[in-house]
Chains A and B, each alone.
Chain A
Amino acid sequence: KAGVTQTPRYLIKTRGQQVTLSCSPISGHRSVSWYQQTPGQGLQFLFEYFSETQRNKGNFPGRFSGRQFSNSRSEMNVSTLELGDSALYLCASSRDLAKNIQYFGAGTRLSVL
């Protein structure tokens, strides 16, 4: 069974640009959560999608947005990039909302110059 796939693995952008990251969850999983990981801050929750609906949202500005498609694949978008957006962005999928276990992808490393 394939794991969670995130693309691309690495991304370099400049300030002011926008970026779209993609996540393909494990087959059969309907919940997709996104996290931002930075040194010292740990895993900061961005948002969660379940059956194409945003169910939970963290404390990030509106520049961060996401969506989920009917096949459960998800994308997150960051507009007007800032230097502080440089981070590892992780996607996690789970079968349902209970999060007894989340399966993480390897992440997308975003560098903003």
Chain B
Amino acid sequence: QQQVKQSPQSLIVQKGGISIINCAYENTAFDYFPWYQQFPGKGPALLIAIRPDVSEKKEGRFTISFNKSAKQFSLHIMDSQPGDSATYFCAARYNTDKLIFGTGTRLQVFP
């Protein structure tokens, strides 16, 4: 099944809180899992990515947690800031060159 299910559709977090976005997949052939961040009026931009042989990757306040057995991965944004307000897309790659995106999560961080 070439599908990535993303939740929640929208998320409201207070400044300083933790934002968590989840994605689930079925295809065990996926070999690369990037997250993209999109600000209004802009195209998506790569935020952070992980390969399935790693359980966690951290870059600054952004962390991907990967659970291979559960076929789930999630993005954690620590100390969320109003500037993090954007739409976040998870994605998964298969057959080396095909990328499937989740449906997106609109994050709003209020001061």
Residues of A in contact with B (beta carbons under 8 Å apart): 4, 33, 35, 40-43, 45, 48, 55-56, 90, 92, 97-107
Docked Cα-Cα span, A82 to B43, in Å, equals 24
Q: Return the chain B residue nearest A31 by Cβ.
A: B97
Q: Return the chain B residue nearest A50 by Cβ.
A: B97
Could you show 13 A-B contacts with beta carbons less than 8 Å apart? A4-B43, A40-B9, A42-B102, A42-B103, A45-B98, A45-B100, A45-B101, A48-B97, A98-B97, A101-B46, A102-B99, A104-B36, A104-B44
Contacting pair B103 A97 (CB below 8 A)? no
Docked Cα-Cα span, A101 to B46, in Å, equals 7
Minimum CB–CB distance for B36 against chain A, Å: 8
Docked Cα-Cα span, A4 to B45, in Å, equals 12
Contacting pair B96 A106 (CB below 8 A)? no
Which chain A residues lie closer than 8 Å to B46 at the CB level?
101-102
Docked Cα-Cα span, A100 to B104, in Å, equals 19
**Given A103-B45, A106-B43, 12 other A-B contacts at CB below 8 A?**
A41-B103, A42-B89, A43-B89, A43-B104, A56-B97, A98-B96, A99-B32, A99-B99, A100-B49, A101-B34, A104-B43, A106-B41
* B57 within 8 A of partner (CB): no
Q: B18-45 interface mask toward A, CB cutoff 8 Å, 1 = contact, 0 = none?
A: 0000000000000010101000011111
Docked Cα-Cα span, A104 to B34, in Å, equals 14
